[in-house]
Structure formats: structure tokens, C-alpha cells
Structure 1
Amino acid sequence: MFHFSPGIKLGIILLGFIITLCLVGTGDSFADNSEMLSDSSLRKSIKKARKMVDMAYLQSRRNLKKTLEENFASPMDFLKILRDPVGRTRSAARFADYLETTLKLLRIKLQLSGKWRYNVTDVLSRKQKKMISTETGCSYQTHPIKCPESDKYRSISGECNNRKVSHLGSSNRAFARWLPGLYEDGFSVPRGATAGKMFNGFPLPLVRKVSNEIAFTADEKITHDQDLSLAFMHWGQWVTHDIEFTPVSGAGMNPSPQCRSSCAFKPPCFPIKFPTDDPRSSQSCMPFIQSASVCNTRTFTREQLNAVSSFLDASTVYGSEDAVAKSIRNQTNQLGLLAVNQNFTDEGLELLPFDNSATSICILSNKTMNIPCFKAGDRRVSENLGLSALHTVFLRQHNRLVKQLKKLNPHWDGEKLYQESRKIIGAIVQIITYRDYLPLLLGEETSKWIPPYRGYKKNLDPRISNVFALAFRFGHTTIQPFLSRLDDNYQPLGSFGHIPLRFSLSAPWRILTEGGIDPLIRGMVLSHAKVMKQNQLLPEELQNHLFEQTQVMGLDLAALNLQRGRDHGLPGYIAWRQFCGLSQPENLKELSKVLGNYEQAKKFMKLYGTTENIDLWIGAISEPAVPQGRVGPLLACIIGTQFRKLRDGDRFWWERRGIFTPQQLRALRKISLSRLICDNTRIKKIPREVFKVNSYPEDFLDCKEIDKLNLSPWEEEP
């Protein structure tokens, strides 16, 4: 063994550094890297990457099977299985994993060969990039889509809505980026993944610490919204499920043991660490699985996958893939009906069919009942009981429309009945959202961000943006910690009337055995939403007990949102303020002015050190609401901008000339959520405006007083 003095050691290090520079310096052009990244070497890397990913997917399936066989699921199991990529989504996610793993293997080769200065994109020829795209399966992104010469109805996937760029807004594509992604390594590593790394001169705080110190609110200290009902909150979730779904990585769908025992960042594991002063610090960390990515062979930067069509098209009811759409239709006849439950009814009224797949985790929410999850156009249908109730209302509404249209037009075949009913349902969702929901959310800034409709704009990008997918999670701050169910007289439904929210998640058996959907609808109509206040952001039920149906401690929804923002490479709060043309506070004084709260601003500065590091979600929900609205200026900008793009970039928007006749438009304008409830439940008295707080019985009308949808304009001569 040789021993050198510190000076000699330093000299050797410097010499090695100089030699390395010579090897990879000016004389080593990109073209010379062909030996190091030959085509055969590249193919070996792709083959190895595919094998590694396939093994990870297989292991995740084995873990899931074991979980279900052991008849026990953790809170993370419940959440992640609801977000399992399936069908074409699973294929898209797997192809992206092939691509990312290939790139990681190539980066390792660059480092081992001494070419650590170069990015993989710099040393790959155009031919080699095409090879990667083809052999990982990512070339599907560039395959031409043949659109029909004329189309009266939307495609299920959203393809061909934009005839110029046929995949724009379709399912299983990347979210739009309104600002470039921000990653530690410039490509895929989330900010905060590397311990001790500094950003703008400060380390990022643990997301759980931010949640504890800014988001946490005791359940008993929340404030009720004096103007808006819980139906307002539920509609927000209905809308977001229609336009975006971010599945988890298929390789980490059921968290592997190392995701639970280690807090290290090992994709797709990105665990949430507990600060030392946390009440749960005895646990190592909270499991977190990264979102599924989508192929990006242009820049190789990580982009997340939107599994559903971006358009507000009632894909929650009908699905965003042809295979899903077909599987939820009634296959016993050709009448255009949706399938219904064959085992149970709601006192004679239709219920959603069961999802009898092997991954129906709802069975574990009540092992005695052995009831699987419901099945609908969106796989999150059973996430909570209020959501399941809305899905049921729209299932029944579709089948009602089919039967009524058949009476008007006996000559229509089942496919036309299905498509015309689907078209009407899509218009209903759009009308209720833009006419009734968004003005209550955006208040006096509604017309600023969503001016009157002026027609379809084919050059507008209607895709859901990555930032909106996180920003619209403001709705979590309006959730009540308890589930309220009411009887015919709008009184608590006995022992079932008031239960902690955690026991309503993934629990469809409660609809079958505890009164059906009517008590749930009455509860959301009469109950108040929680108001979003700076010192009351998230109730403890969501901050500590999410999906806590077992003895295992629940999840923290605030921490999940913050970690998700970092996972998606979203720039911080200040960058988005700049994007929206708002002021960019640089210090405590300026931040306290923006928030209108010195103490709140002081908490932020203590945690983050600089305003530049504040995470988007927590900063945005801390802003005071705009006049008459329920979100601050930044959220109003992001949400308003997105909904304007969704409307103006939709070729099938309900108001566009030629989509409906003038007579049909007049009929549709009279539709309301209250009418849908009257027509599809046994509820006989309802407020005219269900998103607003109403008192029973003085503000409730007989259903006979609520305008019906007149279908006579849809009658056609044979």
C-alpha cells in the first residue's frame, strides 16, 4: 500500500482531472462518441432497460396479489390501486419507463467513460434517437391518426377533436407545460430529492413540515362556508375527474418494501420524510409513488401522463378509451344503454355495475360484505361515496335519455341513441360547470378570465396543463371532515348520519346497505362546504387520516399535494405569480402584503428562507379570495385560463354553431343539477340552486316547480 502526502494527493487528483479534460475536450467532438454509443451498444441498453422495467412491473403485480390475498391493505394501497394505470394507459406508462430507464443506463455509460460533461441528448445521433423511440414503443406518439372526413360525435379518446393536430387533448398524452419543467438534474429528478441540496441559497423544507405548520387544522376548528354547499365541493371533484387523471407509475403501483422502509429517493419511490418534531416521527417516512410519465423523445425531460381526455366531455360517465367505453355499455341488447348492477338495486332504481377485476380493493373496506368497487367511465368512481352518488345520477340520466329518445324516434338504432344521449350529457356537464359552478369559484374575476363565447379557435391548445392539475386541488381545502347523510325530512340518518370521512372512502357497500344514494345527495345539498381560510386550510381528517380504514396511520393529503408538485417539476409560487402578471414578493414585508397576513408570511419565510422556494400549491391556497369568489388571484388566473382554453379549443363545445339546433339550445339552457337530482332519485323537494347554502324547508321547492329538459327538439322524421 502506497502512502502519499496531502500535497501529492492533490497533485494526482489535478493530473487526473487534466487528463480527463484532454480526453473529452476540444478534440473530442460529438461525432466521435459513436464508438462509445454504437448502435449495438445502444440496443443492448434498450434491451436491458426493457427487462428491468418488465421485472419491476411483474413485481408490483405480485405485491398487489399478495396484498389482496392477505386480506389487508394500507392507506397507500387504497390510494394507489385507485390510480393504477390500466389498458392503453398502462402501455403508455410502460413505454415511458423503458425510455427513462434507457436514458439512465446511457448516463451511467457516459460517466464511466469520462464523458460526464455531456448530456445524453448531445451524444445521440438523430438515427439513434429514432431507434430509441421505436424500440421502447414510444414511436406510437408520432404515428399518424386517421380522422374521419366528417364526424357528428366526439371520439371517446378525444382524438380528432382538433383536425389540425389530431392527438391534441386526447387521452394518454402529456399534460401541457405553461412554464418549463424544473428538475434537480434538468431532466427528471424532483427538487428536494437530494438531501442538503440548496435552491436559491436555501434547502427546501420537508413537505410534511410545511403541512404541519401551515396546512393543519383541528377538525373541530374549521369554519363552514356561509354561502356554498357541499354540493359545490363535490361538483369540483366531478369536473376534475372529467378532465385529468394522473396515474401512478405502474412499476410502483403497489409500494414495494423499500418504499416503506427507506426514505431514499429510488424511482418510482419518492417517500415523504417526517421531521424530528412530528408526532409521527417514530415512523421513518410516508410512502409516495411518483406519477406515471409519458414518452418525451423530443427533449427527454420527464413529462407526466394525463390518462383521460382533456375535454369536458363527460368521460367520467363514458370513459376515455374505446375498450372502457365498450365494457360499460349494456351488451345484452343494442339499445344504447349503459350497463347496470345485476345484483343490487337502490329500492328499484339502477346502481352502477361492479368492477369484478382482481384489483378491486373496495372488498377490503368491509371484509364481511365482500363488495367490490363500482365500475364507470372513470376508475376513481368509488373513491368516496359522494362521487359514487354523482356517477349513479349520471348513469341513470343517460339511460333515461335513451329510453325517452327511443319513444320520440323509434327508427333510431342503439348506436345513435347512445351517441345522442352522450352528446346531451356532455352539454349538461359543460352548462352546469360554466354557468353555475365557475362564477361562484372565480367571483368578480369570472369575466376577466372567461369572457363570453366567441366560437371555436382551432389554433388554441385545449390540453390540461400540468400546473392546473395541481392548482385545482385547491378543492381539498373545501372538504368537510365528516360525511353527512340525511333522511326524507333532511334529518340525520340514524347511526349512519354522521361518520368520519375516512370510513366513506372505497366503501361502496355503504350505498348498498345504508340507504342508497338519496341520503348522500340530501347531505351534500344541505351541508355547508368548508371555507378556505389561511389558518384553516386542511382538516386533520385529511392531514393525518386519509384512507385510514385500518390500524395503519393514514396519509397526509397536503403533503401528498406538495410532493406531487415537486415530482411534476412544477416551478414555485413566485414563478407562477409572474406568469399571471401578478406581483412577485421578494421579502417578508412584500409577502405579508400579498397574503394580507404578517404572521402567515412569517411562517413561510421561516420554512422556505426565500419566497422563490415556496411551493405553488401551499402559496396559492394561502392567498385571500378574490371578491365574491373562493380562490385567490393566482388560482383565479390558472383556473380561469385553463377553462377558457378548454371551451374555446373544443370543436364540439355545446354552444358552437351547428352542434345543436337553436331549438335544442333553448331546451338545454333550462337544465339544472337540481332537475337531474329530481329525475334520477326519489328526492321530491330540492333547492333551485344546489351549489348555494339553503335552509330546509323554506328554500326547498317541489320538483314539479323545477324546469324539465324538453326533448321534443330532438324528434326526427323517419
Structure 2
Amino acid sequence: IPCFSDLLTPQELDTIARVTGCAARVSKPSCRTTPNVNKYRTATSVCNNLKSPRLGASNTPFTRWLPAQYDDGVSRPKSWDPNRSFNNFVLPLVREVSNRILATNDASVESDREFTHMVTIFGQWNDHDLTFTPSSPSIRAFSNGLDCDESCERSEPCFPIQIPLNDPRLPTGPDSCIPVFRSAPVCGTGKSAFNFGDMANRREQINALNAFLDLGQVYGSEEGLARDLRDLTNDGGLLRINKEFTDNGREFLPFTDVKGNMCATRRRITNDTNAKEVPCFVAGDVRVDENIALTSIHTMFLREHNRLAGALLRLNPHWDGETLYQEARKIMGAYTQVFVFRDYLPHIVGPDTMARQLGRYPGYNETIDPSIANVFATAAYRFAHLAIQPTLSRLDINNKENPMFPSVPLFKAFFTPWRLVFEGGIDPLIRGLVGHPAKLNTQNHMMVDALREKLFQFINHLALDLGSLNMQRGRDHGLPDYNAWRKFCGLSTPSNLGELAVVLNNTDLAFRLLQLYGTPDNIDVWMGGVAEPFVHKGRVGPLFACLIATQFQKIRQGDRLWYENPGVFTSAQRKALKNVSLAQIICDNTGITAVSRDPFLIPEGGNTPIKCNNIQQLNLSAWKENLPL
């Protein structure tokens, strides 16, 4: 039987591929015509791998380390049919799991004794460099036109979270649910997708960002956005800044020109009907305004780019704006590679996993696929949702509670750029991040109410539950179960209460999980992963330590433009980059005059704040270009 594509000309197939957005799946870019392909990254990271140009590029599929497990084998999520059993048990409602396992009393959360809240928010910042999964572009069901925001019926792409009986916050019944849209499928995957003849492809999801540590959240992961974020009114290689407001003379991010303003939350939060609203900020990642601590880190790195571009211009006055932009961007990309591997990951996966998987740089390997794994993006790297404090601290110059602009409940800090504009800028928040501890994820105090009961309360008609969303998203993406991933990592696969209690080192938690799931084989991988006790000196359990380390191992080895790869930087430049620090970024781009050498560690003992003029700066002399006589 001929395929429909046999009846179309190559030109017609090309047109269909372009108008449906499938071109990135069926066309191969030419790297020979890409300017400076061996010197600078493209925004999308197309042509990082010269033999397989789309490996790790933005708007390509998440990779799978284990095959997807869908209800129908192709596309339909587990629990789409709420009565279907798996391993002889019906899967629990994700909101019921959230209520019975994740709920905590915010007043009694335990704070981390080693790591600051900067570790948590930096993790979110780093995640936004690597992963973003677009939802279905339709807000209505394909078959019957139902509005996914209004209906609780499951009809593609609507995958609402059902509310269990006697829910402590939400009304129950057939018309009570938390709306969820399925993630958009990759072209050619899933039985409902347009697929050029192969109707048996399992559904895959799109990573809208590239897989490399390149600060795409600052610069954008698409060429159009990257260009729009630049200040092209001069030849200084700068990023655009806010033209309406400054932060005590320092730059703010520019405002978005997108119509509609989800950041118009000031009047609702303050109950002041005359309060001035401001638009959302815009950056390389659309989630820049999710909370004001994250926005503050975005703002620091915007300023650092412009500071670097100015310093490079003074060093090399003959450089044009394109060179200044690309060289500053290249240095900034090296910053994040250093910070993540040297400073951040050891605190998360622990020294044993670092030594086993993430030790000395082994060199570039073009056969390694650096693409982000679905399980990393949808489960493992969401561990830090349980390390977020219920309050964002704002401290004054004496590192005391800011009397003018006190600390903010987290649920009142979502999509509130006006707090930075009208409430003291980013300095009080940065002081709070490096001066106060992260929340400690303990098995009896998992997720704070700001995320589980009040998420985006002021921009949605119904506050969301992040824990439920994580599990529902895992089912949407067809992630295999907890035990399948334990086996993948070479770990034990518990089969009963006693064995699960040993893995979790907690009989009560194991019992409660099996009351819900029936068997360890049914546990959602995110739920099982965050329930595990920490590895030695880490902040995740063995499963997530394995998955996170495996992902970063592939990111580093599969990156042709990794800063340690010979030829990317000179030996003198690499030596200079080894000494960069997050403390230096803070000192150079805020009004803060003293900071701990390691902002990820609690400021005490040998890590008490020191004056900024004692913090080593990046020596740019290795970037001076000597012109021929």
C-alpha cells in the first residue's frame, strides 16, 4: 500500500515540513556555511557536532535512556484510564500522593546546615539553561473542542489532575480538577502526530533549549530571540537593558513587548488598586519572572555580560560589536561550566559520584549524544523543588532583615518583577540567597505550601500543586517506573515492603508509598527519587545522583566547544577561567561590598564574608589581541 508521501513531490513534502514545524526533524543543516562554526556557538547549538549537526540542538527531541512506557504503547499516558491496573494495582491519583507523602507544615521545615538558598535557586537557574518542554499549542481538546482550562474531561491534549475525595484544599467532584495540558509531541511521533508514514512511533517530547552549558537563559536558544536581546543601536556588543528603570544606577532587564501582562500582580497582592504595574522582564528563557530570586540572578548575569563587553572593548578597541558580543558570551559560557562542575554538582551528587563519573575532563567525543534525557528533565533535575524555602529572604547592608522591604513569602514572589523595581532592587535578595540556608529535603517535610498549595496563586484561577504536576508530567511523558530506573543505574530493585524500607531507610514512608502504589514497580520515578535518603555529602539519593551525573557526563563529553577542549580557549585563557567565582560575579554586578568566597556554603567558620576587593577577579589580559605591525 503506497504511503501518502509517495504521491507528493519533494517540493511539496518540503513545504509541508516547513509549515508544520517539522523541518528540524527532516532536514540537515549545512555547517560549512555557518560563520565561525569552530570559534563560537550558534544560539541553537546546531553544528556543535559537525557530523551530526542537530545533536543537542534546541527544538529537538529529548533522548530516551529507557523506552517510553505508555498506556497504549504509543502515546496515551499511564492513568489516562483511571480504572486500568498496572502490576495488579490501579495507579493512585497524583494529588493523593502529594497530600499523603509530600505535605509539610511550613512552620516546621528544617533548614540545611551546610548549603545556602543560593544552591537551590542556582539549580533552577541552571535547569533553565538546559531544559524547557513546550506544552500543546492548543488550549482546546482536538476531538470535541473542550477548553482544557475549564473542563475536567480527559481529551487530548487535556490531561487534568483529578482531585481526591476529602482534599484539604480543593473541592472534589466530577468538575473539580487542576488543569494540565499535555506536552507537545515531536513531529512524527505518537499516533496523533503528523508523521510522514510511520504510525507506530512512540510519542516523544521537545526540548526547546539546547543541551549545552552555554547560558542560553541569558542569550536565548533561538537565533531570533538572541538577536532581539542584543543592543544593536551601537557597536559595543551589549545586551539590551531597561530604558525606564534602574537599580540604584545599575541595569535592569528589559521589559517584554508581548501583549498581555501576567506580571500585573501588584494590585492583587498588595490590595492597592492604584499601584503601578510593570510588564514582565524578558531574557533568554521565558521563565525569567517565575520568582524574584531567579530574576535577580538573571539580572546579575546580564550586567556581567555588559561589564565584560566593556572591558574587552577597552582591551581591544579595534574589535567590532559582533566580536565583543561573541567573546563576552564565550567567556560567560565558560563561567557556567566552571560553576556547575566545580562548585555546584559536588554539593548535589556528592564526592563519590563526582569521582566516579565527573572527575577530570576526558576530552571531546563526537560519538556521545549530549541531548537531555527525558527522565533528567522531567524527574531527576526536579529534585530541588523540595529544597525551596517558604520565604525569600531580603537582607540589608548589615545582613539583617531589611526593615524597609522585609522578606517575602514565596507564593507572593511569583511573577512579581515590580518588587525589584519598587522594592529595593536585587541586592537584598542576593544577600538573602547567600546569607540564609536552603530548605533541607527530609522524608517527613518534603514540599512547602507555596509550591504545593499556592503555586501561581495570583495568575491562575486555581493555585497549582507542583508535586502533583511533576508526577502527572512524568506519566504524560511515558517515563518508566522507579524500579526500572533503579535497574538502569545498577541499583537494587525492591519488590516488597521490607526491601523498600531498606532502600528508603524508613519503614513508615515505605508503608505509606505501598498503600498508594501497591508495589514499588508502580512508584512514579520522581516520587521515588525524592523519597530516597541522600548519598554521602550530597542532596539527592542514589538514583538521582546516578541520573544527574550521567546527564552532565554526556553534556561535557559531547560538547565540542567545552571550555577545556584544546583550541576553544588558549592555555592562558583556560588558566584564567579556572579562577572565576560566583562571588566575583556578585561583587562586580551589585552594590554588595562583602561576600563569602563560596556563596553556596553557609557563611560561617572559614567562609565568613570578606571584602569584595579581596575576591580574585578574572584576569582578561589573556584576551588582549596584539595586532600585526
TM over 0.5, shorter chain: yes
Match of 2:227 in 1: 326
Cα contact 2:129–2:216 (8 A) shared by 1 = yes
Whole-angstrom CA distance in 2 between matches of 1:130 and 1:581: 44
Q: Which letter maps to 1:688?
A: R
Tell me which residue corresponds to 1:245. Answer: 132
Q: What is the count of residue pairs matched by the alignment? A: 600
Alignment correspondent of 2:26: 142
Are positions 1:310 and 2:211 aligned together?
yes
Paired residue for 1:176? 63
**Residue 191 (structure 1) aligned to one of 78, 85, 91:** 78
Residue 140 of structure 2 contacts residue 147 of structure 2 at CA under 8 Å; is this kept in 1? no
Give the Å deviation of 1:366: 3.8
1:664-675 alignment, distance < 5 Å = 664-675=573-584
Q: Which aligned segments of 4 or more residues in structure 1 are displaced greater than 3 angstroms?
A: 37-40, 128-137, 253-258, 364-368, 550-553, 695-698
Distance 2:536 2:607 in 1: 28
State the Cα deviation string for residues 480-516 of structure 1 (Å, max 9, x = none).
0111101111111126322211111100000000000
Q: Distance in 1 between matches of 2:19 and 2:452?
A: 43
Measure, in 1, the Cα distance between the counterparts of 2:13 and 2:239: 44
8 Å CA contact retained: 2:140, 2:146: no
Q: Aligned residue for 2:191?
A: none
> After the TM superposition, which residues 535-684 of structure 1 pair with which residues of structure 2 at under 5 Å, given as runs?
535-549=444-458, 552-684=461-593
Change (3 A) 1:132 1:203: farther
* Residue 236 (structure 1) aligns with: 123
> Residues 664 and 560 from structure 1, CA distance in 2 versus in 1: closer, same or farther, beyond 3 angstroms?
same
Moved more, 705-714 or 132-141: 132-141
Deviation at 1:535, TM superposition (A): 1.1
1:670-709 correspondence runs (5 A): 670-695=579-604, 699-709=608-618
1:409 paired residue number? 316
Structure 1 residues 617 and 38: alpha-carbon distance in aligned structure 2, compared to 1, 3 A threshold: closer
1:491–1:257 Cα change, 3 Å: farther
Alpha-carbon shift at residue 335 of structure 1 (Å): 1.5
Structure 1, unaligned stretches of length 5 or more? Answer: 1-30, 44-125
Give the match for residue 351 of structure 1: 252
Matched residue SS, 1:241: helix
TM-score norm. by structure 1 comes to 0.80
3-state SS of 1:295 partner: coil
Partners in 1 of 2:458 and 2:243 — Cα distance? 28
Contact 1:446/1:640, CA 8 A, preserved across alignment: yes
Note if 1:505 corresponds to 2:414.
yes
Counterpart selection for 2:161 from 256, 272, 286: 272
- Residue 552 of structure 1 and its aligned partner are, at CA, apart by 4.5
TM-score, scaled relative to structure 2:
0.92
Report the identity percentage. 47
Aligned twin of 1:453: 361
1:369 paired with 2:245, answer no
User: C-alpha separation between the residues in 1 aligned to 2:582 and 2:474?
Assistant: 33
Q: For residues 505-555 of structure 1, what are the alpha-carbon distances to aligned partners after superposition, in whole Å with 9 as ceiling and x for unaligned?
A: 100000000000000100101111001111111012211111112794411
**Aligned counterparts of 1:134 and 1:402: Cα–Cα separation in 2:** 37
Larger helix share, 1 or 2: 1
Please give the alpha-carbon distance, in whole angstroms, between the structure 2 residues aligned to 1:684 and 1:697: 18
Given the superposition, is the C-alpha separation of residues 716 and 551 from structure 1 closer, same or farther in structure 2, using an over 3 Å criterion? closer
Compute the displacement of 1:451 (Å): 2.8
Partner of 1:228, secondary structure, is strand
Measure, in 2, the Cα distance between the counterparts of 1:217 and 1:418. Answer: 46
Structure 2 residue runs of 5 or longer lacking an equivalent are 189-194, 269-274
CA distance in 2, matches of 1:38, 1:329: 44
Q: 2:394 corresponds to which residue?
A: 485
Higher-Rg structure is 1
Aligned-partner SS, 2:205: strand
- Structure 1: how far apart are the matches of 2:586 and 2:357? 30
Q: Which amino acid aligns with 2:84?
A: K
Q: Separation in 1 of the partners of 2:539 and 2:211?
A: 24
Q: How far, CA to CA, are the matches of 1:135 and 1:553 in structure 2?
A: 35
Deviation at 1:586, TM superposition (A): 0.5
CA positional deviation for 1:650:
0.2
**Cα 1:546/1:135, change in 2 over 3 Å:** closer
Distance, in Å, in 1 between the alignment partners of 2:259 and 2:107 is: 39
Structure 1 position 424 matched with structure 2 position 331: yes
* Aligned with 1:214 (options 101, 107, 113): 101
In the other structure, the counterpart of 2:626 is 717
2:355 counterpart of 1:466: no
DSSP 3-state at the match of 1:496:
coil
CA distance in 1 between partners of 2:345 and 2:423 (Å): 33
SS in 1 for 2:408: strand
Displacement of 1:133 after TM fit?
6.0
How far did residue 134 of structure 1 move?
7.8
Residues 682-704 of structure 1, C-alpha deviations (whole Å, 9 max, x = no match) = 10010001001114998110001
Task: Indicate conservation of the 8 Å contact 1:208/1:275, yes or no.
Answer: yes
In 2: Cα distance, 1:445 partner to 1:157 partner: 30
Aligned residue identity for 2:301: F
1:348-400 CA distance string (max 9 Å, x none): 10110000211431124447322011011111111110111111111110001
Q: Which residue of 1 aligns with 2:403?
A: 494
